[in-house]
Amino acid sequence: MIRPLFAAAFITLALPAGAADLFAVAGDWVGEGSLSTGADKPMERGRCKVGVEQAEGAGDVAVKGKCVVAAGASDISLRLVRGENGKVRAGFWTAATDQTVQLAGSETAELIELFSTEPLMVDEKPYETWVKIMAPDAGSFAIQQMLRPEGAETWRMVVDMTYNQAEG
């Protein structure tokens, strides 16, 4: 079964646009968009469902869920921690790679940018990861993830999803 390879990084934050505090959200969220099932595979239509919970301690968010493409599904889990002075760090795991990747970056009122602190290994090759979480309007947010072989100049989009709060 082929699983969405990179979906976990983008489910990281279920954020309402324009929120004063990006780490204050909880509940169920549904994402629709495009995912890649491999570092050099084409993007395909995908869907993700995640639950977001505020973890104990200020500025911690726990996300768990599943992303699905036509060829299969992957469970995901993420822990995001807000630091001081706009700093953010995260760790995410996905069943597709069965590895935890550490990310670090910064946040503003409209954007969170995270970069991998260690390589994501895909087919025994190291890749750098760049994640952008943007709030396009009051009822949704967008997540994009890019990869590049370690040391390369060009980034490749592997996730482009828009999330809305689940009904009911």
| Domain boundaries along the sequence of the chain | 7-165
pLDDT in tens, 2-52: 445 544 443 334 333 343 344 666 788 899 999 888 888 899 999 999 888
pLDDT in tens, 113-134: 999 999 999 889 999 999 888 8
Closest CA to 167 of 136, 139, 137: 139
Are 4 and 119 in contact, with CB atoms under 8 Å apart? Answer: no
Taking the CA atoms of residue 23, residue 29, residue 35 and residue 37 in that order, the dihedral angle to the nearest 10 degrees is: 100
What is the pTM for the complete model shown? Answer: 0.81
CA distance 7 to 161: 9
Are 5 and 37 in contact, with CB atoms under 8 Å apart? Answer: yes
The percent of the chain in helix, strand and coil, each rounded to the nearest 5, is: 0, 60, 35
Q: 3.30.450.20, 2.40.128.20, 3.40.309.10, 3.30.465.10: which CATH number matches 7-165? A: 2.40.128.20
Tokens describing residue 43: 């993007």
CA distance 36 to 141: 19
